[in-house]
Homo-oligomer: A and B are copies of this chain.
Amino acid sequence: MENISSVQNQKVKNWKKLATKKQRTKEGSYLLDGWHLVQEALNYDAPIKAIMVTQEQFDMHSEELQKVSEIFIVTFEVMQSITDTVTPQGIAAEVGIPAVYTEVPNELAGTWLLMDEVQDPGNMGTMIRTADAAGFTGVVAGNKTADIFSPKVVRAMQGSQFHIQVKQGSTLDWIDMLHAEGIPVYGTQLNKEAVNYLDVEKSNSFALIMGNEGNGVQPAVLERTSQNLYIPIAGKAESLNVAVSAGILMFALKK
């Protein structure tokens, strides 16, 4: 164990920089903030590279932290700096981004959520958490989505990255691979000419594509799907929030 009390410490500076995509790519790791997420990482044997913890929090969780070799006892100010929050929770972790993150799984059968150009980190995280709750096999972040390991997405997914497969890749490539396995791929559209989601039979093997908050799923993607679905709007709202739509569809389509 090492004590760090200076925000000028190089390690502190590096942890703080994990808020940026550049640093996450360089280090191959990201930051978890708060005991709940750190506990999930411990429970699921995630590759924890370091734990940064105040003395107070360490005393509360010393037993669970025994299996971690790299523990840094830090001051409140260091914690504020690392997590960029005024009232930090007092424990954070640097966790390795799984090597399989960009690899295609051997087995594609199952239920997948493909996020195509979803921009808002809160929506991304909520969709991943919802996919987990719905019992989905995994999620795929298309190349132009928000970054899954950014602080806001990590906060919103509430540990679901440890429960289900989280992948990054090209939406079009994934569609081709799923088609090759005979797995239906459903696009989503704000278009009454599309298929009412209530008319699709529940199943344990399909992929669902959700699109950008403003523009929906790209036309080039919609052209390659098995079917495109819509959620009938009964009232006068123009659209639904993308994470809410994803929730309605995942729970309605999954057997």
A→B interface (CB under 8 Å): 122, 126, 129-136, 158-160, 163-164, 231, 233-241, 243-248, 251-252, 254
A164 touches which one: B132, B164, B235, B252 (CB < 8 A)? Answer: B235
- Picked from B126, B135, B136, B239, the residue with its CB within 8 Å of the CB of A244 is B126
Q: Which residues of B contact A239 (CB under 8 A)?
A: 133
Tell me, rounded to whole Å, the shortest Cβ–Cβ distance linking A87 to chain B.
Answer: 16
Query: Which B residues are CB-close (under 8 A) to A134?
Result: 234-235
B247 engages A135 (CB within 8 Å): no
10 cross-chain pairs, A with B, having the tightest CB-CB distances, nearest first: A135-B234, A244-B247, A163-B236, A133-B237, A132-B237, A132-B235, A135-B235, A133-B233, A248-B251, A126-B241
Nearest opposing residue in chain B for A43, CB measure: B236
Known: A133-B237, A134-B235. 15 other contacts (CB 8 A): A126-B241, A130-B241, A132-B237, A133-B235, A133-B240, A160-B237, A163-B235, A164-B235, A164-B236, A241-B243, A244-B247, A247-B248, A248-B248, A251-B252, A252-B252
